[in-house]
Amino acid sequence: MNRILSKDLKNHSGEDVLIKGHLFQKRIMGKINFLIIRDKEGLIQVVLKDKNEIDKIESIMDESVLYITGKCIYDKRAINEAEIHDPKIEVVSKVKEPLKIEINKPEIHANLDTLFNNRAVVLRAPQKRAIFKIQSIMVQAFRDYAIENGSTEIFPPTIVGTATEGGAELFEIKYYDKKAYLAQSAQLYKQIMVGVFEKVFGTAHSYRAEKFGTSRHMSEFIQYEWEMGFIESYMDIVNSAIDIIKYMKKNIEEKCSDEIKLLNIELPTLPKKIPVIKFREAQKLIKDKKGIDNTSEIDLSPMDEKMISEITKEEYQSDLIVITHFPRVKTAFYSMPDPEDEEYTLSFDFILRGEEILSGSQRINDYENLIESIKRKSLNPNDFESYTEIFKFGMPPEGGFGMGVERLTQQFLSIENVKEASLFPRDVKRITP
């Protein structure tokens, strides 16, 4: 007999079926007895009457693996519109000790540390599973969009000999008899690959020794990486990134309605026209509308990001805002200066529901200008040789972005801490499980 999954069960009414899954919940109440079985797609209700079968299951703990054959009965009120009657149960893998956290409740009450300590079990909870189901649909949408738009997927290395961006956030590792580093981003490699494929994308792991336990930083995270050659303007990249985010939303709506319902969330509002505002204009808006004067600062603080989001939500009914033209002193040396005012760059950040999710820019594609830009930051060009070298060999006008996979999931699903959007989060204190 072939296994039938929860979502498909209603199409087999009247048939004898085999279901397989974990025991999610047991309600042995005497006259009416139910089992709820959890499979990869959802839940199935099993109605138990036979005393032998009840005895078999009495001492079996939640999450044990069961194979059950029985009659499938259509019932509109049942979970997934069908249930199993007259079951014969086979216990395939018995749970050996009670779970430390109950995962079959509408709300799981535990602090983050307890949740992460018991991650392997907690991830089985339908509310947690839903986060990662949606995340996987988002990644798939990104991949589909990128391929459809003529990009090629690449797999950059994460062990690197030199640091592209340098800084104190670098993880040093022992590499045979040398020092090596964990990549902070795929910057160099995606730019190299523009010379090969013109448009490239990937999802790459990034490592940063973030010293503080914030609700938006981890030591290891994933970035949607995108780089595009032969562009006319930095706005080509901005528009592609907006389209990608809208495409992800559309895919979630189409493929994850159950998960959205379960999480009881609203996806971000993304109107036809997403506001695109220059950095200095954003500061001025904050000053005018919120009375807080940060106009002499060279970057937006997390508080600024929240305020500008509130302002644009009210004015444009958009949860997403794009801020462009960050000051040159703040942006990475490889960002292209704005030809109209060289103190600023053709760079951009995307802020979704008050938090940065994406950073990008048009890049300097001329060797001499790049060396000049490195020196301007009081850095030594020799330290960046493996990066700058590719610009001796012809590079088209190009640019790209990095967008945090977990950050985007966090903001899409209104999750408080980014770590909840990572399967096995790593931070300054946590490296297990």
Chain positions contacting ligand ATP, by CB under 6 A: 208, 210, 216-218, 221, 223, 356-359, 402-404, 406-407, 418
The whole-angstrom separation of Cα 33 and Cα 131 is 31
Shorter beta-carbon distance to ligand ATP: residue 398 or 406:
406
The CB-of-162 to ligand ATP minimum distance in angstroms stands at 17
Q: Which residue has the tokens 């995962």?
A: 103
Smallest Cα–Cα separation from 126: which of 263, 284, 287? 263
The CB-of-419 to ligand ATP minimum distance in angstroms stands at 9
Shorter beta-carbon distance to ligand ATP: residue 210 or 258:
210
Shorter beta-carbon distance to ligand ATP: residue 229 or 402:
402
Contact 259, 130 (CB under 8 A): yes
Shorter beta-carbon distance to ligand ATP: residue 24 or 221:
221
Shorter beta-carbon distance to ligand ATP: residue 89 or 418:
418
Shorter beta-carbon distance to ligand ATP: residue 93 or 301:
301
The CB-of-11 to ligand ATP minimum distance in angstroms stands at 41
The whole-angstrom separation of Cα 161 and Cα 175 is 9
Helix 234-255 and helix 405-412: axis angle, to 10°?
A: 60
Cβ count within 10 A of residue 119: 17
Look at phi and psi of residue 350 and say left if phi exceeds 0, alpha if psi is from -120 to 50, else beta.
Answer: beta
Token pair of 146 as six digits: 């990128």
Shorter beta-carbon distance to ligand ATP: residue 24 or 412:
412
- Chain mean position to CA 151: 20
The whole-angstrom separation of Cα 241 and Cα 228 is 11
- What phi and psi values does residue 355 have, to the nearest 5 degrees? -135, 140
Shorter beta-carbon distance to ligand ATP: residue 119 or 216:
216
Contact 245, 412 (CB under 8 A): no
Smallest Cα–Cα separation from 432: which of 181, 131, 119? 119
The CB-of-422 to ligand ATP minimum distance in angstroms stands at 8
The CB-of-245 to ligand ATP minimum distance in angstroms stands at 12
Look at phi and psi of residue 394 and say left if phi exceeds 0, alpha if psi is from -120 to 50, else beta.
Answer: left
Q: Kindly compute the dihedral angle of the four CA atoms of residues 364, 401, 140, 231, in this order, to the nearest 10 degrees.
A: -40
DSSP 8-state secondary structure symbol assigned to residue 71: E
The CB-of-400 to ligand ATP minimum distance in angstroms stands at 11
The CB-of-186 to ligand ATP minimum distance in angstroms stands at 11
* Termini Cα distance of the chain: 37
The whole-angstrom separation of Cα 65 and Cα 88 is 14
The CB-of-424 to ligand ATP minimum distance in angstroms stands at 14
Shorter beta-carbon distance to ligand ATP: residue 77 or 429:
429
The CB-of-380 to ligand ATP minimum distance in angstroms stands at 21
Which residue minimizes CB distance to ligand ATP? 404
Shorter beta-carbon distance to ligand ATP: residue 218 or 274:
218
Smallest Cα–Cα separation from 220: which of 405, 344, 11? 405
The CB-of-331 to ligand ATP minimum distance in angstroms stands at 10
Work out whether strand 276-278 and strand 320-324 pair parallel, antiparallel, or are unpaired: parallel
